[in-house]
Structure 1
């Protein structure tokens, strides 16, 4: 019996992620974990969010999001700034170093994708499946 597709996808994702993090460690980013990537990618994509918004996006508590934010701040990937419309809230934004890391991750993934045979066919099939069944509601966030 062949390996079920969901397991193949999970194993491939794990391999991509492990190879990515090995490269990042070699390049001076040894502490970055997948959760940091999901958070930082969201900061870059949105231009900045509150801790509450980041928690909702990641599916974690506000305390969990605050912990990730503190780590990203400590390592220079993100910073807290004044919220432009809410004096009680802080906006968390990616720094130039954070933007550079997100760009580097995309470059590494692109390099890894070159090892996938028939990539265009695989990408088209998965896109078709998602379009038919997810209705744009599949968030890109860690599976805790």
Structure 2
């Protein structure tokens, strides 16, 4: 393989894995989840809630786009809004039990992918790959904050 194609291979791998996991999620009763929802779930799963403005900032979208995403997720039963503890003008968004169930299924299928990869290339090589990717993220983080969000 030619040098310089590693970023494309990483992107293709990510896409293939996400497609597989979303197929499994659909079979598990989460057919209404889109890949874009996962970026919001990931952000919300690491905090006790967030405002739409915080979510918009994390996702790199407008406040209006984040509010629409929250509306959609709320209608689907994945998030709920509640009063902000310190700002009466703001509302907090947090995951519901259904949102956490979806994350749990996602994590189960992600672990299954890693297990298959360990079978394909060996557990030691998989650990080396993980370590190398972490170093790449650390290196990129020296220049700017690296967050998991859509880049398209």
TM-score bucket (shorter structure): over 0.9
Alignment of 1:94-109 (within 5 A): 94-109=95-110
RMSD: 1.4
Q: In structure 1, what is the equivalent of residue 138 of structure 2? A: 131
Deviation at 1:132, TM superposition (A): 2.6
Distance in 2 between the 1:129 and 1:6 partners? Answer: 11
2:89 matched to 1:88?
A: yes
Deviation at 1:2, TM superposition (A): 2.7
Distance in 2 between the 1:43 and 1:134 partners? Answer: 21
CA displacement 1:88-124 (0-9 Å, x = unmatched): 1000011111112112111111101122222111101
2:120 matched to 1:112?
A: no
Unaligned runs of 5+ in 2: none
Deviation at 1:133, TM superposition (A): 3.2
Distance in 2 between the 1:122 and 1:84 partners? Answer: 42
Unaligned runs of 5+ in 1: none
Contact 1:34 1:142 in 2 (8 A): no
Deviation at 1:24, TM superposition (A): 0.7
Change over 3 Å in CA distance of 1:2–1:115 after alignment to 2: farther
TM-score by length of 2: 0.89
TM-score by length of 1: 0.94
Count of matched residue positions in the alignment of Structure 1 and Structure 2 = 144
Larger mean Cα displacement after TM superposition, 82-91 or 33-42: 33-42
